[in-house]
Amino acid sequence: MATRTRPKRERSEYARKEARAAWLMLTPWLLGLALITAIPMVASLFLSFTSYPLLAAPTWVGLDNYLRLADDPRFLAALGVTFRYVFISVPLQLGFALTLALLLNRGLSGMRFYRSAFYLPSLLGASVTIAILWRQVFGKDGIFNDVLALVGIEGMSWIGNPSTALSTLIVLNVWTFGSPMVIFLAGLRQIPREYYEAAAVDGAGRFSQFRRITLPLLTPVVFFNVILQFIHAFQAFTPSYIVSGGSGGPVDSTLFYTLYLYQRGFTQFQMGYASAMAWVLLLIICVFTALNFFGSRYWVFYGDEK
């Protein structure tokens, strides 16, 4: 270490220079943190306690917005839809991601091709194009019904039916399993092969190798993916907006939380109400993430890491 052998004065002079440069480099970030993130956050917390129709000044209403949320049937519907979407699609998505990562990690030829083919949908999934495509695929004349017709089942409009519309959006999210899959693959590649070889010498079969080596050593990656994908899914917006034409229909069956927030805030301009919704969303995400971190103690394995 060159620094240690230098005279003290020169070092502290450089240290000061370094600190000054650091804050200079962090200036854009600091400005963004203050102007784009922190101050608006405080402001939206304040606005959530007001009635604010945008054109008139906000008036203080205390906890009114939050109390109204509890009685708002559309809000409760949005909450139900979003929870179902998140808690069904994310486990399915991660299940597919892990299964295919394991399959691809077998040293197969053409692995790169498959990896790319599976990864591509996760780049496209949030686009308006794919949402338009989904309307088509699961519509009355869609290709999903064409496939069903091959086996003699008469289809219907899966998008237009309130009891199936949400399922089509769940399928859409599962379709984007490529990005967690790539993360799983990277995690799998970090497990030293020697473990498997030694286990094989000890007479451990494929399945017990998976259960005793792969799964425990992969839990940190599973944990990372769970957090990431859940937070992501809670904020999904585009598919529900496009598939339902902005309404969340039929009968609010695709009314995502963010879509209802958009309707309240940016079509009805009830900024106070929308802010309260935003803070409830933040609270839900925080509670969920905290529970996850807390629970991770019991199932995430960090033993062999340095």
Per CB under 8 A, contacts with another protein among 86-115 are 100, 103-108, 110, 114-115
Asked if 204 interacts with another protein (CB under 8 A), we say yes
60 pairs with which residues across the strands?
A: 50
User: Least distance in Å: CB of 119 to another protein?
Assistant: 6
Rounded Cα–Cα distance for residues 271 and 262 (Å): 10
Cα separation, 149 vs 159, in Å, equals 17
Q: Does 217 bind another protein (CB under 8 A)?
A: yes
Q: How far is residue 218 from each of residues 105, 122, 135, 166, 303, measured CA to CA in Å?
A: 13, 22, 37, 31, 12
Residues 282, 283, 287, CA angle at the centre, nearest 5°?
Answer: 120
Longest dimension (CA), the chain: 86
Q: Pick between residue 88 and residue 227 the one whose CB is nearest to another protein.
A: 227
Q: Report residue 60 as tokens.
A: 């203080």
Least spacing, CB of residue 99 vs another protein, in Å: 10
Q: Is 35 in the site for another protein (CB under 8 A)?
A: yes
The residue among 136 and 163 lying less far from another protein, judged by its C-beta, is: 136
- Binding span for another protein by CB under 8 A among 72-80, 81-89, 154-162, 260-268: 260-268
Contact pick of 76, 83, 95, 304 for another protein (by CB under 8 A): 304
**291 belongs to the binding site for another protein (CB under 8 A):** no
Q: Is 157 in the site for another protein (CB under 8 A)?
A: no
**Residue selected from 255, 258, 263, 300 as contacting another protein according to rule CB under 8 A:** 258
Minimal distance, residue 14 CB to another protein, in Å: 8
Helices (H), 156-256: 165-175, 178-189, 193-201, 206-209, 215-234, 238-243
Encoded tokens for 33:
């943190």
CB of 148 to another protein, least distance (A): 14
Query: What token pair was written down for 64?
Result: 């009114």
210 lies in the binding site for another protein (CB under 8 A): no
Closer residue to another protein in complex, CB, 8/193 = 193
- Residue 156 CA to chain centroid, in angstroms? 30
- Which H or E run contains 119? helix 111-124
User: Counting contacts by CB under 8 A, is residue 226 touching another protein?
Assistant: no
State phi, psi for 107 to the nearest 5 degrees: 70, 35
181: burial class by Cβ within 10 Å (0-12, 13-18, 19+)?
A: buried
Taking the least distance from each CB to another protein, the nearer of 118 and 166 is 118
d(CA 218, CA 54) in angstroms, rounded, equals 49
Q: Which part of the chain contacts another protein (CB under 8 A), choosing from 83-91, 118-126, 149-157, 159-167?
A: 118-126
* 14 touching another protein, by CB under 8 A: yes
275 near another protein (CB under 8 A): yes
The site map against another protein for 171-200 (x = CB under 8 A) is ----x---x--xx-xxx--x-xxxxxxxxx
